[in-house]
């Protein structure tokens, strides 16, 4: 008796790849990834998904972080310290930040690019803040900005948000206030300061911030702030119960020549790898073994210098 069952076409490898995400190459998965926009942060909190943020300061760091699938790239003013060699974040200018934002955007990441507004580019007045933030989006191509400060900065946050600019807040050990704190210190340690931080967080949420960085604050305080907000908290030295984490690229990869902070975990020793590679290069040059034949260009008809020198 003939088989009455219709024969299903055998799925080609290409079809299987389309259906089974596990079989796709990282490049294919990246190409299919949707660009991340600021509202996705809150949606992730609602779905209980942790948010991954890392700093990036140039096209290669943006490219590799994006390939790793992070949700957002923060062009942090930490670049003053880890890229430009300053001791604090205060000296970096808006134009310098913009230069790095553009480089990150040129890597065409799918991750949200958040541009840090540097010291004194937004504190003087909401109008000046709007001009500075506007440049980050209009000239830089960023998708959001970040500002430091609590309730005092809330009217500025509101002004930016009203103009259509997504704003990330930043509380706790805010590096632009390092001189007021007298150094890099965990904030807050006392109950009244913890209460004030919670009020600041609520003020930023009410002003329209889409998320909040909590830097170097006790995990107990971060947990309470996180539970009390609808917008996600992104911790750096604020314990495991924030809605996401942010880390400095150079700290994660062992590229800092100074001591890495306690809150950072080193996932690679790229500094050692780079130094070893450059030592080998130097040794090859000194020994005359670099460049080798495969690194050399030839033009055989110019071999005899008498044929082309006078
Ligand atoms: O500038 C920066 O990198 C930051 C993060 C540490 C949150 O603000």
What does the H/E/C string look like for 13-77? HHHHHHHCHHHCCHHHHHHHCCCCCCHHHHHHHHHCCCEEEEECCCHHHHHHHHHCCCCEEEECC
Ligand 1 centroid from CA 195, angstroms = 23
Which residue, judged by its Cα, is nearest atom 4 of ligand 1? 76
Give the ligand 1 atom nearest the CA of 175: 8
Give the ligand 1 atom nearest the CA of 77: 1
Closest by Cα among 208, 199, 200, 197 to 231: 208
Ligand 1 centroid from CA 281, angstroms = 34
User: In this structure, is residue 290 part of a structural domain?
Assistant: no
Residue 46 designated active-site = no
Set 40, 148, 205, 215: catalytic member: 215
CA 1 → CA 4, 7, 8, 9, distances in Å? 9, 16, 19, 22
Residue of 76, 117, 235 to test ligand 1 pocket, by largest number of atoms within 8 Å of CB: 76
The CATH code of the domain that includes 225 is 3.20.20.60
User: In this structure, is residue 14 part of a structural domain?
Assistant: no
* Enclosing domain of residue 86: 22-269
Residue 63 has a pLDDT of: 97
Residue burial 168-195, b: 16+ Cβ < 10 Å; e: rest: bbbbbbbbbebeeeeeeebbbeeeeebe
Give the ligand 1 atom nearest the CA of 247: 6
Ligand 1 centroid from CA 229, angstroms = 21
φ, ψ of residue 276 in degrees (nearest 5):
-60, -45
Ligand 1 centroid from CA 168, angstroms = 11
Ranges of residues in the chain with a pLDDT under 70 are 1-31
Residue keyed to tokens 């009217």? 155
Which residue, judged by its Cα, is nearest atom 5 of ligand 1? 76
In the chain, how many domains are there? Answer: 1
Residue 1 has a pLDDT of: 47
Residue 26 has a pLDDT of: 60
Which residue, judged by its Cα, is nearest atom 1 of ligand 1? 76
User: In this structure, is residue 115 part of a structural domain?
Assistant: yes
Residue of 117, 170, 246, 247 to test ligand 1 pocket, by largest number of atoms within 8 Å of CB: 246
pLDDT tens-digit profile of 40-78? 999 999 999 999 999 999 999 999 999 999 999 999 999
Burial group, residue 261, by CB count within 10 angstroms (0-12, 13-18, 19+): middle
User: In this structure, is residue 1 part of a structural domain?
Assistant: no
Which residue, judged by its Cα, is nearest atom 2 of ligand 1? 76
Q: Which residues have CB under 6 Å of ligand 1?
A: 55, 74, 76-78, 116, 213, 215, 236, 246, 248
User: In this structure, is residue 245 part of a structural domain?
Assistant: yes
User: In this structure, is residue 138 part of a structural domain?
Assistant: yes
Residue 116 has a pLDDT of: 98
Residue 191 has a pLDDT of: 97
Mean pLDDT of the chain: 93
pLDDT tens-digit profile of 113-164? 999 999 999 999 999 999 999 999 999 999 999 999 999 999 999 999 999 9
Give the ligand 1 atom nearest the CA of 246: 7
**253 neighbors 264 (Cβ within 8 angstroms):** no
User: In this structure, is residue 196 part of a structural domain?
Assistant: yes
Burial group, residue 32, by CB count within 10 angstroms (0-12, 13-18, 19+): exposed
Measured distance CA(116)–CA(133) in Å, rounded: 9
Give the ligand 1 atom nearest the CA of 148: 8
User: In this structure, is residue 307 part of a structural domain?
Assistant: no
Measured distance CA(121)–CA(131) in Å, rounded: 9
């Amino acid at each position: 008796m003939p088989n009455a069952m219709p024969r299903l076409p055998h799925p080609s490898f290409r079809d299987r790849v389309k259906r089974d995400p596990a079989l796709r190459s990282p490049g294919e998965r990246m190409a299919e990834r949707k660009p991340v926009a600021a509202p996705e942060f809150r949606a992730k909190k609602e779905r209980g998904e942790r948010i991954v943020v890392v700093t990036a300061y140039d096209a290669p760091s943006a490219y590799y972080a994006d390939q790793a699938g992070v949700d957002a790239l923060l062009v942090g003013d930490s670049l003053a310290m880890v890229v430009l060699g300053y001791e604090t974040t205060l000296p970096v200018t808006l134009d310098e930040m913009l230069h790095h934002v553009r480089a990150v955007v040129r890597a065409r990441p799918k991750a949200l690019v958040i541009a840090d507004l540097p010291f004194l580019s937004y504190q003087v007045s909401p109008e000046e803040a709007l001009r500075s933030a506007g440049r980050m989006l209009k000239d830089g191509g960023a998708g959001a900005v970040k500002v430091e400060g609590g309730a005092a900065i809330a009217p500025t946050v509101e002004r930016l948000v009203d103009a259509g600019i997504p704003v990330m807040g930043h509380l706790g050990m805010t590096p632009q206030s390092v001189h007021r704190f007298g150094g890099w210190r965990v904030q807050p340690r006392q109950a009244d300061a913890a209460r004030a931080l919670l009020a600041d967080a609520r003020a930023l949420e009410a002003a329209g911030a889409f998320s909040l960085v909590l830097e170097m604050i006790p995990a107990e305080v971060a947990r309470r702030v996180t539970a009390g907000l609808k917008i996600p908290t992104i911790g750096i030295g604020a314990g495991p119960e924030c809605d996401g984490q942010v880390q400095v690229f150079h700290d994660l990869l062992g590229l800092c020549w100074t001591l890495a902070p306690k809150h950072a975990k080193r996932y690679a020793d790229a500094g050692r790898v780079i130094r070893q590679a450059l030592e080998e290069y130097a040794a090859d040059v000194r020994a005359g073994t670099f460049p080798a034949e495969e690194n050399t260009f030839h033009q055989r008809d110019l071999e005899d210098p008498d044929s082309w020198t006078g």
